[in-house]
Amino acid sequence: MRILSTLLVSLFYFISLSSQCTINGVGIASMLVDPNGTNNFDTDGDGVAETEDEFVEICNTSAVDVDISGWTIDDNADPIGSDFAFPAGTILAAGECVVLIRNWVTDPPTSPPPGVFSMGLGGGWLNNGGDNVYLSDGTSVCEVSYGSTACTLPAPDCDDWGGDMDGCVDVAGTADCSYVPAALPVEFGSFKVNNQNGKAVLSWTTLSEINNELFEIEWSVDGRNFVKIDEVKGAGNSATILEYQVTHLTPMPNLNYYRLKQVDFDGNFSYSVIEVIRLSQRASQEVSFYPNPVNDILVVSTDEKTRLEIFSLNSELLLDIYIDHQKTIDVSNFPKGMNIMRFSSNGKVTIENLIKI
C-alpha cells in the first residue's frame, strides 16, 4: 500500500520534527496518551473517548518516499517489535504521516481510513503519567520518553518530551489536543497519461477538494528522481467533479514517469500515484549541434528546413525558430543544467538533451 493522506494534522510537526530523532527522515511526531482525560478525544469517531483511542503519529520529513515495511512501534524496549509491525508494501510518502491507533473499534464495525493503522492491542498501552515509545527499522531505534519516565537510550537516539501529559503530546512539548480528524484535502477520481503525437497529455479528475491551492506536475525518467515541470491552480474548495489537463511537450523516448503533488494553502502536500508512459522514438532527421555542454554559442546543422524548440526542464519555452541547414544561436541566458531540444520536420521528430554550463 502507499500512504498518501495525512488523516491527523499537527500544528507543530512541520517546524519541530526535523530536530528530533529520525530514521531515514521518519520519526515520532505526536502521541495521544490519555484520550478520556481532561481533554476528551475520540480518535475513531465512535462517540466515546476511551483508552482504545490512544495513538502514535509517525511522519516522514524527508524529500523521498520511505519503505517502512516491517518497521515496529513499541512502548517497551524488551523485546522491541512486540507491539506492532507495519505490513509488507507500506510506503510512507515524502512529507506524509500515518497514525497507529491502539484499537480501532466502531459500532457498526468499520475499517480505519487510509493512513490509519489499528494495532489491535487490548488493555492499556501508553501510561498516562509517563512511558517510553520506540520506533525501529530493525537496525536503528528512535526512542521518545514523556512524563515521569526517563530515556533509556542516549541522545540523539532518545527525545525526552517531559511533562505529565494529559491528552496529546507532540514534539513541541505541549499537552493540549491539537489534532483533529480531517477529511482528505483532495479526493482523486482518476489520473492517466496518454501519448498524443509524441507529447504526454496528463488528465485527472477530483471528486472533492478542501483547501486545495494547486497541483505541481512532476516528471522523471527513472521513477526515482522527479522534477517539477508545471503547476495548475486548484479549486480551493469544491464538492463537484472537476477535470484538469496538462501537456508535457518534451517527454523523452522510452519510459516517462509522472506524479501530481497536491499542495494546500497552508503548505501541506501529498502525492498522487505514479503513472508511466512509454514513448517510442519517431523517425528522425539528420541533426547535429556543438558544443555540448555549451556556454554561450551553439551551432546547429540540419539536412532540411527544421523547426527547433528548446525547453527548460520545467517546460518553459526558451526558443522557437526554424533552421535552414545551419544556425548559430546565443544560449548565454538559458538556465544552467539540462534543457530539451525538439527538432521537427515533415512529421519527423528528434529529441536531444542540451547541457548549459
CA angle 140–141–147, rounded 5-degree value: 170
Going by C-alpha positions, the residue among 183, 181, 182, 185 that lies closest to residue 236 is 185
Which one-letter DSSP state was computed for residue 302?
A: E
Q: Would the CATH topology of 2-170 be identical to that of 287-356?
A: yes
Q: Are 133 and 31 in contact (CB under 8 A)?
A: yes
**Residue 77 has what pLDDT?**
59
The CATH number of the domain covering residues in 287-356 = 2.60.40
Amino acid at 36: N
Give pLDDT, residue 171.
Answer: 41
Residues 6+ apart with CB under 8 A from 116: 7, 98, 99, 100, 101, 104
Q: Which pLDDT does position 163 carry in this prediction?
A: 62
Give the pLDDT of residue 116.
Answer: 83
Give the pLDDT of residue 285.
Answer: 58
User: What is the secondary structure of 46-71 as a DSSP string?
Assistant: SS---GGG-EEEEEE-SSS-EE-TT-
Distance, C-alpha 253 to centroid of its chain: 26
DSSP 116: E
The pLDDT assigned to 236 comes to: 87
pLDDT of residue 231: 92
Where are the chain's structural domains? 2-170, 186-279, 287-356
Cβ-contact 209, 242 below 8 angstroms: yes
- Cell match 521513477: residue? 223
Report the length, in residues, of the chain: 357
Q: CA–CA separation, 22 vs 142, rounded Å?
A: 6
Output the pLDDT for position 278: 83
| The CATH fold of domain 2-170 | Immunoglobulin-like (2.60.40)
**Averaged pLDDT in 10-residue chunks for the chain of 357 residues:** 35 37 87 71 73 85 88 77 84 86 77 81 78 91 87 87 55 42 68 87 90 91 84 89 91 86 84 82 68 89 88 85 90 89 82 85
CATH dotted code for 186-279 = 2.60.40.2060
pLDDT of residue 112: 76
Question: Is there a contact between 13 and 267 (Cβ–Cβ < 8 Å)?
Answer: no
